[in-house]
Amino acid sequence: MISPESPPLSDTPPPSPARADADLVISPGRLQAFSDGVIAIASTLLILDVHRPSRDEPVWSALRHEWPALGSYVVTFLVIGIAWIHHHNMFHRVARVDRTLLFLNLGLLATISFLPLPTATLGEHLTRQNAPDAAVFYALSMALSSAWFTAFWHHLTRHPELMHEAARGTAAQARRQSLLGPVGYLAAALVALVSPVGALVVSGLIVLYFIVGRRNPASRTGPESLPADAQEG
Amino acid sequence: MISPESPPLSDTPPPSPARADADLVISPGRLQAFSDGVIAIASTLLILDVHRPSRDEPVWSALRHEWPALGSYVVTFLVIGIAWIHHHNMFHRVARVDRTLLFLNLGLLATISFLPLPTATLGEHLTRQNAPDAAVFYALSMALSSAWFTAFWHHLTRHPELMHEAARGTAAQARRQSLLGPVGYLAAALVALVSPVGALVVSGLIVLYFIVGRRNPASRTGPESLPADAQEG
Amino acid sequence: MISPESPPLSDTPPPSPARADADLVISPGRLQAFSDGVIAIASTLLILDVHRPSRDEPVWSALRHEWPALGSYVVTFLVIGIAWIHHHNMFHRVARVDRTLLFLNLGLLATISFLPLPTATLGEHLTRQNAPDAAVFYALSMALSSAWFTAFWHHLTRHPELMHEAARGTAAQARRQSLLGPVGYLAAALVALVSPVGALVVSGLIVLYFIVGRRNPASRTGPESLPADAQEG
Amino acid sequence: MISPESPPLSDTPPPSPARADADLVISPGRLQAFSDGVIAIASTLLILDVHRPSRDEPVWSALRHEWPALGSYVVTFLVIGIAWIHHHNMFHRVARVDRTLLFLNLGLLATISFLPLPTATLGEHLTRQNAPDAAVFYALSMALSSAWFTAFWHHLTRHPELMHEAARGTAAQARRQSLLGPVGYLAAALVALVSPVGALVVSGLIVLYFIVGRRNPASRTGPESLPADAQEG
């Protein structure tokens, strides 16, 4: 799960002098590659928490009773998929990884690896007495996992030298946009108090918005003016 | 799980102007790399659903009783392996990933990650009362996972500009060929109503056809006239 | 899990004309990358089959009672590690993947993904009544997983055009050497009939031989006369 | 999970003559890529050992009772994350992988794959009678996993020819620094005898030190004087 390095861009200073903490040298490509691995595994493990129909149960009715687990599976899978896309869109603008980015990334990955737990909890409880608690736990976990992106962009806004020169103007706006995730999932947590199913639906709608709804003219001025290899790498 | 980017081909326009939705910039290589990860994990998780002989059971007879689970393991592993091959054969003709391809791919991956569930269900029920239901569920899941490829090719047929120039002529035919999977597995679902074991056998035969039977003269005119790095990347 | 392609070597003909079955175009680098993923996952899943000491058990005595599972874990982990090394050593000599190599590889991966089952079975039964059966099952699974390499080399011996020119002379000898695995594990299966623990020890010794014992002067004439990028890729 | 090779550095001799054991040719990039895969999977599997609140339990109180498992999850995730960083920082100085490095790496990976077991054990026992044993087991496992790095650096100190020329001066110091892990975790094992929770806290503090505390002026003279592609690859 390793990536090739982009050839150094003309606008990037050679990495050496900036790396005072040489014991933590990780290139953006490698960070992405490792992250890809963790994200792919977390999303694939989700299905293990959907109960297989046992030998005594009629298959279709057992699956029908599993709809909360199946619905949670679909929503979380897509949430993680969107996180993967956002992760790439962020790191293809990053020219150099400092210690803060490195450990923000570890925090993000620990949170994404954690998501099978709230997903399984929601699947188990959604049609039962403790559904509101389970849905709040689920929505807060989603909010936390997306809040890391705001932290990333906050750091990048204050340290534009970590980004490819052509992308530096995009950080402030990306930080604003990154609030949609945590704010949306916090709203889902509020909905959960009234309607646990509603919280899952709201989470699904947030994902759907990222999939079909988001057309962002402003970000057009950002990355695609990057040199080709920065975009591709 | 990241891949290097092919150097831009002469026939590919620079990616920038086409990327209006810059927040979703993913290169074909990276999409493939992440997909490889999910596909590899899904196929490796399958074995977790085969029951280990417990300490009170004679080993060989316990394994013999597990033949439905073992047979389902082998067939699903090969189905996923074929999907991986088709995925690569498609994406090595793709020069640019648009939003639709990106989310079709998320759908495909969610379906492949889902396959351990119907596989475990078939393994558990194949020799029991609910075998027809389990086999229909299994065959429909396989049909769904292969139907995504038809959707991919349908989109590529209508947007040839997303493909390497040399590959554009192959999309229509690939779309036709991609129907074999969904049609074949739907046939297996029909067989399941009469003979659940027959459905597993038909699924295995479809895989076998892809492995040994398919010689496709027409596609010869396609990809291999691509420039070498398009094919390789 | 994708790899960059080596730049075409001077001794390799351009891949195009040989690819009659264009629907199965997979480069050696990608085949290795996907295989790396499956192999890494299979070896990491092994620990899931070692029982965690339950809350009522004293930790150390519970772990002591798990020695069969722990021993099987270590041996299988190393067996898979050796398979990974052999896989790379084979594919770095391969210039072009044909349909046979592709499906031999799927077979190898299906077998390696399968290994958690016999490993768990041996761990569960080694100190119990059915230990001989479990050990035979274990050793035969290991024999099967290593026998694929003999099949690979057999195919490569008969199709030297699939290899980098400089490596072609090494196939016949590699085929002979590849017999050590299946023959050794079949011997372990025979030992299992008398002493199940002995079979695990023999398997461990085979691995140990690969790790510390093997110095193979003849193969020195092979790969390292390859051009550097063939070796590295 | 494969990486491209760095172009041969000017100070690295061509790999061929040194590779007497040609059957074990693995490039540093590939070794890292495979290791990335195993490390990513091991860290992602950890969450499977945190009990999901069952349908009869109130969600929040069930999660509160899982704090030992959740705390162990966080600490082990970060320990593995740090190991990943150290692994990269080591291998980006390595120009050539010999047999010893290859098998030290297999040992390291087997140990990291093993960590879900002590983590689950600690999570299960931390608030129970056998907590000291579980915590000693946990801390010793962590000590073992970090001790491999001392072994790596010891080997590299004695075989500087395996390293990029510019990095050779850093091995002795890296070996000294690598003792922090094993010594720190052995101290945690001693603490465990008195306070099991204290052992988890100490382990967390060691990780925290790596994250926020370590500023190492001496290593500044090391890697960053490497040529750029050695650092990046």
* DSSP state at residue C6: P
Query: Which chain D residue has its CA at the smallest distance from A113's CA?
Result: D44
* C186 inside 8 A of chain B by CB: no
* DSSP state at residue C11: T
* D227 inside 8 A of chain A by CB: no
Distance between CA atoms of residues A28 and A2, nearest Å: 10
Query: Cβ of C1 and A1 within 8 Å?
Result: yes
pLDDT, mean of residues D186-190: 97
Where are chain C's structural domains? 27-48+59-217
* B165 inside 8 A of chain A by CB: no
Query: Which chain D residue has its CA at the smallest distance from A19's CA?
Result: D224
Residue B23, token pair as written in the block:
């927040």
Distance between CA atoms of residues B93 and B15, nearest Å: 16
Confidence class of residue B62 from pLDDT cuts 50, 70 and 90? very high
Partner-chain residue, chosen from A33, A52, A92, that has the shortest CB–CB distance to B1: A33
DSSP for chain B, please give it: ---PPPPPPTTSPPSGGG-S-GGG---HHHHHHHHHHHHHHHHHHGGGGSPPPPTTS-HHHHHHHTHHHHHHHHHHHHHHHHHHHHHHHHHTTBS---HHHHHHHHHHHHHHHHTHHHHHHHHHHTTSTTHHHHHHHHHHHHHHHHHHHHHHHHHHHH-GGGB-GGGGGGHHHHHHHHTHHHHHHHHHHHHHHH-HHHHHHHHHHHHHIIIII---TGGGGSGGGS-HHHHH-
> What SS3 class is residue A129?
coil
Residues 25-44 of chain D whose Cβ lies under 8 A from any Cβ of chain B: 41
Confidence class of residue C159 from pLDDT cuts 50, 70 and 90? very high
Confidence class of residue B218 from pLDDT cuts 50, 70 and 90? very low
Taking 90 as the threshold, does the pLDDT of residue C15 lie above it? Answer: no
Cα of A192 vs its chain's centroid, Å: 21
Q: Please state whether the predicted TM-score (pTM) of the whole model is above 0.90.
A: no
Residue A190, token pair as written in the block:
């509020």
CB pairs under 8 A between A and C: 3
CB pairs under 8 A between B and C: 144
Distance between CA atoms of residues B98 and A219, nearest Å: 16
Residue C227, token pair as written in the block:
């051009």
Partner-chain residue, chosen from D1, D214, D226, that has the shortest CB–CB distance to A23: D214
Taking 70 as the threshold, does the pLDDT of residue C122 lie above it? Answer: yes
Query: Which chain D residue has its CA at the smallest distance from B5's CA?
Result: D4
Residues 101-140 of chain A whose Cβ lies under 8 A from any Cβ of chain B: none
Query: Which chain D residue has its CA at the smallest distance from A6's CA?
Result: D232
Q: Say what the ipTM of the complex is.
A: 0.82
Confidence class of residue D1 from pLDDT cuts 50, 70 and 90? very low
Give φ, ψ of B11 to 5 degrees.
Answer: -85, 0
Taking 70 as the threshold, does the pLDDT of residue D21 lie above it? Answer: no
Taking 70 as the threshold, does the pLDDT of residue D91 lie above it? Answer: yes
pLDDT value at residue B28: 85
Confidence class of residue D24 from pLDDT cuts 50, 70 and 90? low
pLDDT value at residue B37: 92
Residue in B141, B131, B142 with CA at minimum distance from that of residue A70: B141
pLDDT, tens digit (0-9, with 9 covering 90-100), for A4-54: 333 333 333 333 333 334 445 688 888 888 999 999 999 999 999 999 998
* A50 inside 8 A of chain D by CB: no
Query: Which chain A residue has its CA at the smallest distance from B99's CA?
Result: A211
Q: Residue D16: its chain C contacts at CB < 8 A? A: 224-225, 228, 231
CA distance C216 to chain D (A): 6
Tell me if A130 sits within 8 A of D56, measured CB to CB: no
Query: Cβ of B103 and A211 within 8 Å?
Result: yes
Taking 80 as the threshold, does the pLDDT of residue C16 lie above it? Answer: no
**Alpha-helix runs per DSSP H in chain C:** 28-45, 59-65, 67-91, 99-114, 116-125, 131-158, 171-178, 180-194, 196-208, 228-232
Taking 80 as the threshold, does the pLDDT of residue C145 lie above it? Answer: yes
pLDDT, mean of residues D11-37: 62
pLDDT value at residue C101: 93
For testing contact with chain C, the best of B2, B59, B74 (most C CBs within 10 A): B59
pLDDT, tens digit (0-9, with 9 covering 90-100), for A138-195: 999 999 999 999 999 999 999 999 999 988 888 999 999 999 999 999 999 999 999 9
Residue in A60, A52, A50 with CA at minimum distance from that of residue B121: A52
Q: Residue B16: its chain A contacts at CB < 8 A? A: 224-225, 228, 231
Residues 64-93 of chain D whose Cβ lies under 8 A from any Cβ of chain A: 73-74, 77-78, 81, 84-86, 88-89, 92
* B4 inside 8 A of chain D by CB: yes
Query: Which chain D residue has its CA at the smallest distance from C178's CA?
Result: D23
Query: Cβ of C1 and D3 within 8 Å?
Result: no
What residues does B94 pair with on adjacent strands? Answer: B163
Q: Residue D67: its chain A contacts at CB < 8 A? A: none
Partner-chain residue, chosen from D8, D26, D42, that has the shortest CB–CB distance to C228: D8
Confidence class of residue D158 from pLDDT cuts 50, 70 and 90? very high
Q: How far is CA B195 from CA A101, A200, B78, B131, B190, in A?
A: 56, 38, 21, 9, 9
Query: Cβ of B4 and D4 within 8 Å?
Result: yes
What residues does C163 pair with on adjacent strands? Answer: C94
pLDDT, tens digit (0-9, with 9 covering 90-100), for B83-99: 999 999 899 899 999 98
Least confident of A178-187, A212-221, B124-133: A212-221
Q: Residue C20: its chain B contacts at CB < 8 A? A: 215, 220
Residue D150, token pair as written in the block:
């001392």
Per cent of chain A over pLDDT 70 is 80
pLDDT value at residue A215: 53
Task: Identify the residue with better confidence: D28 or B24.
Answer: D28
Q: Residue B21: its chain A contacts at CB < 8 A? A: 214-216, 219
pLDDT value at residue C223: 41
Tell me if B207 sits within 8 A of B225, measured CB to CB: no
